C-alpha cells in the first residue's frame, strides 16, 4: 500500500512535539490562527448539518476525524462541542502529547498513531488542516480524505497558496525574520493553489462548496477570514455526494 507520509516531514515536526501546547513555542502560529480556523470549521459544520449556534453540544451526533491532528489543538474544542472525535497523526510523540493533554482536561478523544490509509471507518466530517503541503502525493491524499468521509458529509482543508505573497509571509517572514516556526518547516514548491485543490477534490468525486482566505494583520497581530484574499492561507470545504 502506498502512503502519503513523508518521513522527513514527520521527523522535522517530531523534534518539537513536546511543545504542542506552548502558545509561545514552535507552534505559536497555529495557536494564534486556531480561533479563526475553528470559527470557519464550526460555521461550515453547522451550516451543512443545520445545527444551531446556541447549542453548546451541537456536534453530539457527529463523528469527526482530524488527519494530522498534532497535539490536538482542533480535536479538543470539537470534543467540547460534543463531537465524537478521532485524531490521527504519524508522529507518535505528538499523539502522546495529545493523549496526555486531553486526559488532563477530562476530554474523551480517540487518538491514533498512523496515517489516513490505516483507517477503515468513515466520518461525518473529515479535517485535513495544514497537512496537504507536507504529504508525498497531494492528489492521492485528497482521495484518501474523501474516502474516509460518509456520503453527504464534508471534508475541510486548510493550507498555503503557492504565490509570491505566501513565499514572503510563510517562509521569509515566518521562518527567517519573525522566527515563528523553525526553518525548513515549509517548502514553497509544495504549496497548493486553490484551483489545484479544487481539481483534486473533483477527481476524488466530491465538490468544492466554499473557499475562504485567512489573512494576517501585522498591526494588531490577529488573523481573520476573508472572502477576497486567498494569497497566503486559505480554507476549502468539499461535499461528498
CA distance 137 to 33: 26
Domains of the chain from N-terminus onward: 7-239 (3.40.50.150)
The conformation of residue 134, written as its DSSP 8-state character, comes to G
| Pairwise CA distance, residues 138 & 153, whole Å | 20
Average pLDDT, the chain: 90
Q: Give the residue-averaged pLDDT of 145-151.
A: 98
Question: For residue 219, what pLDDT band results from cuts at 50, 70 and 90?
Answer: confident
Provide the pairing of β-strand 207-217 with 233-239: antiparallel
Contacts of 41 (CB under 8 A, 6+ apart): 74, 78, 127, 156, 235
Q: How confident is the model at residue 192 (pLDDT cuts 50, 70, 90)?
A: very high
Residue found by looking up cell 495529545 in the block: 98
The whole-number average pLDDT for the span 150-166 is 95
pLDDT score, position 202: 98
pLDDT at 176: 53
**92-104 helix and 7-14 helix, angle to the nearest 10 degrees:** 40
158: three-class secondary structure by DSSP: strand
pLDDT grade for 1, boundaries at 50, 70 and 90: very low
Percentage of the chain lying above the pLDDT 90 cut: 72
Neighbour order of strands in the sheet with 233-239: 110-113, 84-89, 63-67, 123-129, 149-160, 233-239, 207-217, 222-226
Q: Which of 127, 11, 6 is nearest to 59 (CA)?
A: 127
Q: What is the pLDDT of residue 71?
A: 97
* pTM higher than 0.85: yes
Each residue of 48-72: pLDDT tens digit?
A: 999 998 887 889 999 999 999 999 9
Amino acid at each position: 500500500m502506498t502512503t502519503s507520509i513523508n518521513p522527513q516531514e514527520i521527523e522535522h515536526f517530531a523534534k518539537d512535539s513536546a511543545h504542542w501546547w506552548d502558545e509561545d513555542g514552535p507552534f505559536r502560529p497555529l495557536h494564534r490562527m486556531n480561533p479563526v480556523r475553528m470559527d470557519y470549521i464550526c460555521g461550515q459544520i453547522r451550516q451543512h448539518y443545520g445545527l444551531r449556534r446556541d447549542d453548546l453540544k451541537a456536534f453530539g451526533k457527529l463523528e469527526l476525524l482530524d488527519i494530522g491532528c498534532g497535539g490536538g489543538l482542533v480535536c479538543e474544542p470539537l470534543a467540547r462541542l460534543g463531537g465524537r472525535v478521532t485524531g490521527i497523526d504519524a508522529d507518535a510523540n505528538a499523539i502522546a502529547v495529545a493523549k496526555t493533554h486531553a486526559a488532563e482536561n477530562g476530554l474523551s478523544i480517540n487518538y491514533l498513531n498512523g496515517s489516513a490509509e490505516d483507517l477503515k471507518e468513515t466520518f461525518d466530517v473529515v479535517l485535513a488542516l495544514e497537512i496537504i503541503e507536507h504529504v508525498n502525493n497531494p492528489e492521492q491524499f485528497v482521495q484518501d480524505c474523501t474516502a474516509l468521509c460518509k456520503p453527504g458529509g464534508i471534508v475541510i482543508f486548510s493550507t498555503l497558496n503557492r504565490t509570491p505573497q505566501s513565499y514572503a509571509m510563510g517562509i521569509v517572514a515566518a521562518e527567517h525574520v519573525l522566527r515563528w516556526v523553525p526553518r525548513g518547516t515549509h517548502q514553497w514548491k509544495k504549496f497548493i493553489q486553490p484551483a489545484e485543490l479544487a481539481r483534486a477534490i473533483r477527481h476524488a468525486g466530491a465538490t468544492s462548496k466554499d473557499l475562504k482566505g485567512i489573512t494576517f494583520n501585522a498591526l494588531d497581530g490577529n488573523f481573520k477570514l476573508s472572502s477576497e484574499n486567498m494569497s497566503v492561507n486559505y480554507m476549502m470545504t468539499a461535499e461528498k455526494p
